[in-house]
Amino acid sequence: MKFSFHLLSHLVSAALALMAATADNTPDLCTDDIANLEKILPSETVTDGHPIPSITVGSATYSGDVPHFVVSPEGGDHDKIIVYIPGTTDRPSLSSCLIKSMSESLSFPVLALSYQYLSSGDSFRNGKCELLVDGGDRTEQVNCLEQQHIDAIDGGDYGATHFKDDGSAFWGEVLPENSLTRRLGDLLILLHKRYPDGHWDNFLQEDMSTPAWANIVFSGHSQGSGHVAYLAQTKNINGAVMISGPQDECTGCPEGTAFWIDELYASTSDTPYTALAQGQEPLFPVMEDNWKRMKATNPSINWITADPQSTDFGLMTTAHDAYASPLFTDVTYADTSTCGGKEHCSVAIDDSVPYIKKSDGETFYLYEASVWPSILKAGSGLTGKNKRGKIKKGKRSKGGKIGKSVKSGKKGKLR
């Protein structure tokens, strides 16, 4: 089987993104400042005795039993929750500053999942799917792009039964009991048992085991962002917040080749979508193309334009801006970043997020100012522009560069 130059170049780019948060010594910077935080191990939620497997990515092995983060505000009767899905090799604690912003920006519970992510980064998986091309037939390549999400979300062995030329599997098997759906369901069941007056059953279906998708806003970074988009495509979810993704690409496909992202979405027309990326990420053009394809297939998606708009320095972004278009930032990553793909990490991973530091050591993370709150509020329906939000319609802020470019219909500056 020939190894195309196109594939090789994408795998080189992917190497940086995969290294985004692989080091277990990556600092956890904001966990101690998250009010009302509860940490729950996946193993604590198990009722049938099944093991929580470790995850091997390349030559490194990561614990699969790292804590979920659960942040519950005062008062238990909420009509929605937001669930955060980390990326490859990531865990909730590495995005603790983002999770802190979620808890401070939103008035309902935040759940950051510890789950069995696929053991291969996004662009690597794109490349592996390309290996399935049979002559000019791309059918199995297109199927592979969808099956990766099914493996992670529902459990499956597609990746474990398809192999590279060296005999290695595309990615590891995910048993149904360790799927994203089961991890979330088991966590909600435990919370309902532990806090019977907390109304956690609002987020379970009548079988009291399956998540009630329509009451859940999903957010994610990197691989997690792709899973969020696929959930929106296959389930009627409450909202979608996509950070640095989706990065799915039909690599080498002729223009116009459709895959799952081009299909009609199960989520209703009032499900809000928001998206954010760093404009210098190697796969930013792939994300931009995916956002445009989503909007083209589903015109009811809330974006006025699918052309990403600049957040400038990230100080004046509003929820209305995030509701009107995908967003990008060109602010440089933090000088403390330990990531290989520093731009990719800079919008979600603690030590890569741009910051301002006072002489006494107090630190303020730039995207806390307006960027994170804006994509979270808009993605949760809190703009007054759709049925899923509860706050009243507010005025658009003046002077923001995003608002001007969206209003005029012009594309924001990308580079």
Residue 79 located in a structural domain: yes
Q: Six-digit token pair at 233?
A: 């495509």
- Cβ contacts of 27 within 8 Å, gap of 6 or more: 336, 338, 350, 351
- Cβ contacts of 4 within 8 Å, gap of 6 or more: 130, 252
Residue 414 located in a structural domain: no
CA distance 119 to 230: 18
Query: Is the pLDDT confidence value at 301 over 70?
Result: yes
Residue percentage of the chain with pLDDT more than 70: 86
CA distance 367 to 314: 6
Q: Which of 59, 124, 113 is nearest to 90 (CA)?
A: 113
pLDDT digits (tens, 9 = 90+) for 93-117: 999 999 999 999 999 999 999 999 9
Residue 95 located in a structural domain: yes
pLDDT digits (tens, 9 = 90+) for 178-237: 999 999 999 999 999 999 999 999 999 999 999 999 999 999 999 999 999 999 999 999
Residue 297 located in a structural domain: yes
Which pLDDT does position 355 carry in this prediction? 97
Which pLDDT does position 27 carry in this prediction? 80
Mean pLDDT of 133-146: 98
Query: Is the pLDDT confidence value at 403 over 60?
Result: no
CA distance 231 to 294: 13
Lowest mean pLDDT among 68-82, 90-104, 298-312, 342-356: 68-82
Which of the two residues, 321 and 410, has the higher pLDDT score?
321
CA distance 287 to 15: 17
Rg (CA), the chain: 20
Residue 156 located in a structural domain: yes
Query: Which residues form the domain of 122?
Result: 5-408
Number of domains in the chain: 1
Residue 58 located in a structural domain: yes
Residue 116 phi/psi, 5-degree rounding, is -85, 85
Residue 109 phi/psi, 5-degree rounding, is -65, 150
CA distance 68 to 227: 17
Residue 306's pLDDT band, with cuts at 50, 70 and 90, is very high
> pTM of the predicted model, to two decimals?
0.88
pLDDT digits (tens, 9 = 90+) for 371-400: 999 999 999 999 865 445 433 323 323 233
Residue 180 phi/psi, 5-degree rounding, is -60, -40
